Amino acid sequence: MADTEAILRTIDLTRSFDMVKAADAINVTMGHGELVGIVGANGSGKTTFLNLITGYVKPDHGRILMMGHDCTGLSPRRITKLGIARSFQVPQLYTGLSVRENVLLSLAAASGNSASFWGPLYRRPWLGESGEILDRFGLKSYAERSVAELPEGGRKLLDIALSFALKPRLLLMDEPTSGVSVEDKFQVMDTLVRVLRESDITTIFVEHDMEVVQRYSRRVLVFDNGRVMADGDPISVLADVEVRKAVLGRE
Amino acid sequence: MWSNRPPLAALVGAVLLMAAPLVVPSWILFILTLALAKFMVVLAVALFLRAGLVSFGHGLFYAVGAYTVGFAVKWAGLREALLLVPLGTLCAAVVAACVGVVMARYRGVFFAMLNLAFSMIVYAALLKLYWLTGGTDGLGVRPPTFLGALPPRTIARMSYYYMTLAIAGGVIYAVYRFLASPLGYFLKALGENEIRIEYSGESARRVIYLTYILSGALGGLSGVLVAFTVGHIVPEYAFWIQSGEFVFVALLGGYGSVPGPLVGAIAFEFIRTYASKYAPEAWQMTLGLIMLAIILFRPGGLWTIYEALAGRFSQRWRGAESG
């Protein structure tokens, strides 16, 4: 497969923590426009995989290629600049600022104009764009309010909106619906999937809930002990007995 | 988010400060000049407090500004204000650009103590290099000239006051713009979530570094103006107790806003003057008690008292209008 076709390619990605292999020779290729779910039991290496790709954790072996460019060992900041953004299981927000200001800072960072110390943050093009983004994520009514006033589902969405505002080619989401109530879960996912499809952003998301994965992804990776034990369309993969045993434990 | 309340308060404050020389006696004008001059270094410290970083070493830049003037007067016979003000500011900014390379890597207690360490190195140098700095005797600073002319004796104090006031006005404007800029917001965001900054592709270190240069420049500017006002400079400008005083004043006035440090600086100079006059044995205790009261009852500083009052008044106003 030609590297230019793949948005992301990992080659033998390996990382151990104190003898435990959190990532064990992971080979994954992601094509443009894919929406891939990752499932696995606690400690199976899902989050480590995201941390490796975004440079938060450095691999012991292996390489990471982003559209053919080697970005192994780069800092999170450099990797972000290359077009990989991520959201977090626990939303990482600027809690003392308003919802809109959070988005404005992402837009400022993405513009490469963030060292500007004379022009205001509230400038017209960014204001318009932030309004559009908040609208898409259904957060517009909270725009001028403090982040502290957002309900948990809103915080999750804002965390993803901050990554989205960077206009990434690849977005990694760590459990976008954890902490969101069961009733709101599907609504959050509906919003996300719609926005990401519209914007043509390739997405990987880690998810606990099999139903969510089944419903929204077209491809699922199953992690077990730092390895990819299955990779394919959700219906057949999640029906597999071995997979169910690995992900859910006893069943 | 700092409150953007007071076009009215700003106007009243500006008018009061501009009219002050016409009504207050000369010794109060001296205290006001000193307070306005020190306000700038307090503001420099307050910038970092917004980001959750405490500096116990801004005396360094204060001393660099002051001694730039001292050296220029002593060695080059230079006493032109229009030259010395930018020169002292620039020197302090250059020092900050060097020290900042190290400082931008540290947070928390290390940031506080490294600042202190750098300032104490400079303090020791000022103390020991007697032939250059006059050691503990310090250096005399002759009154500066404006475009080569020395203001006549009768209006000298007033002209230095207005110069300091004009510069303070410029500083307030510049810092407001800075705080409203992306960099200013990133500075605030820094104390809240550095992870998100890095994952936005922005560098937290760069934010600190650029702010450090700005705050160094403000510290230097302050030192220059204090040297002009007092007419004599000593190594204690770089001593850690001096730096601690800046932090004290920032907390006293409130570091969440631009007017806070100004109010703090003015209040501090008057408290010190009156406390040492009426309670010479206990003026430090007076300061301690005031700080205690501020932290217990008004952790946002003196300025928030005004903000709260103004907020209540405008609410009542609105209530009266609608009712």
Look at residue A251 in the predicted model and tell me its pLDDT: 46
From the CA of B184, how many Å to the nearest CA of chain A? 7
CATH of domain A1-83+168-251: 3.40.50.300
User: Does the distance separating the beta carbons of A109 and B200 come in below 8 Å?
Assistant: yes
Which of B105, B200, B209, B215 is best to mutate for the A interface (most A CBs within 10 A)? B200
Q: ipTM of the predicted structure?
A: 0.90
User: Does the distance separating the beta carbons of B181 and A119 come in below 8 Å?
Assistant: yes
Instruction: Evaluate whether residue B135 is within a structural domain.
Output: yes
Instruction: Strands of chain B (E only): list them.
Output: 139-140, 232-233
User: Does the distance separating the beta carbons of A109 and B202 come in below 8 Å?
Assistant: yes
Instruction: Evaluate whether residue B315 is within a structural domain.
Output: no
Q: What backbone phi and psi angles, to 5 degrees, belong to A220?
A: -130, 140
Look at residue B38 in the predicted model and tell me its pLDDT: 98
The DSSP secondary-structure symbol of B144 reads P
Please work out, in degrees rounded to the nearest 5, the angle formed at the alpha carbon of residue A106 by the alpha carbons of A100 and A112. 135
Q: Is A19 on the interface with B (CB under 8 A)?
A: no
Query: Is residue A139 pLDDT above 60, yes or no?
Result: yes
Look at residue B284 in the predicted model and tell me its pLDDT: 85
Query: Is residue B4 pLDDT above 60, yes or no?
Result: no
Strands A69-70 vs A61-66: parallel, antiparallel or unpaired: antiparallel
Q: Residues of CATH 3.40.50.300 domain(s) within chain A? A: 1-83+168-251
Which of A117, A122, A167 is best to mutate for the B interface (most B CBs within 10 A)? A117
Task: Please report residues of A whose CB lies closer than 8 A to that of B184.
Answer: 117, 121
What domain count does chain B have?
A: 1
Task: Please report residues of A whose CB lies closer than 8 A to that of B192.
Answer: 93-97
What is the residue type of A90?
V
The Cα A195–Cα A186 span in angstroms is 14
Query: Is residue A91 pLDDT above 70, yes or no?
Result: yes
Look at residue A3 in the predicted model and tell me its pLDDT: 45
The Cα A226–Cα B127 span in angstroms is 61
Average pLDDT over residues B98-118: 96
Smallest CA–CA distance from A51 into chain B, residue:
B199
B171-183 pLDDT, tens per residue?
A: 999 999 999 999 9
User: Does the distance separating the beta carbons of B185 and A117 come in below 8 Å?
Assistant: no
Burial of A232 (0-12, 13-18, 19+ CB in 10 A): middle
Look at residue A183 in the predicted model and tell me its pLDDT: 82
User: Does the distance separating the beta carbons of B200 and A115 come in below 8 Å?
Assistant: no
- pLDDT-based confidence at residue B89 (cuts at 50, 70, 90): very high
Question: Which uninterrupted H or E stretch holds A109?
Answer: helix A99-111
Q: Is B4 on the interface with A (CB under 8 A)?
A: no
The Cα A225–Cα A247 span in angstroms is 11
Task: Please report residues of A whose CB lies closer than 8 A to that of B206.
Answer: 115
Instruction: Evaluate whether residue B287 is within a structural domain.
Output: no
Q: Hunting for tokens 């500007």 — which residue is that?
A: A116
Q: Is A31 on the interface with B (CB under 8 A)?
A: no
Residue B197: domain span: 7-240
The Cα B156–Cα B158 span in angstroms is 5
Look at residue B270 in the predicted model and tell me its pLDDT: 94
Query: Is residue A66 pLDDT above 50, yes or no?
Result: yes
Instruction: Evaluate whether residue B233 is within a structural domain.
Output: yes
Which of B1, B199, B210, B213 is best to mutate for the A interface (most A CBs within 10 A)? B199
Q: Name the average pLDDT for chain B.
A: 92
Average pLDDT over residues B251-273: 94
**pTM for the predicted model, two decimal places:** 0.92
From the CA of A230, how many Å to the nearest CA of chain B? 30
Which of B202, B203, B211 is best to mutate for the A interface (most A CBs within 10 A)? B202
Q: Is A129 on the interface with B (CB under 8 A)?
A: no
Q: Is B130 on the interface with A (CB under 8 A)?
A: no
Q: What backbone phi and psi angles, to 5 degrees, belong to B117?
A: -60, -45
Look at residue B320 in the predicted model and tell me its pLDDT: 60
Where is pLDDT greater, at B284 or B167? B167
- pLDDT-based confidence at residue B323 (cuts at 50, 70, 90): very low
Average pLDDT over residues B241-260: 95
Residue A234 near residue A37 (C-beta atoms within 8 A): yes
Smallest CA–CA distance from A172 into chain B, residue:
B199
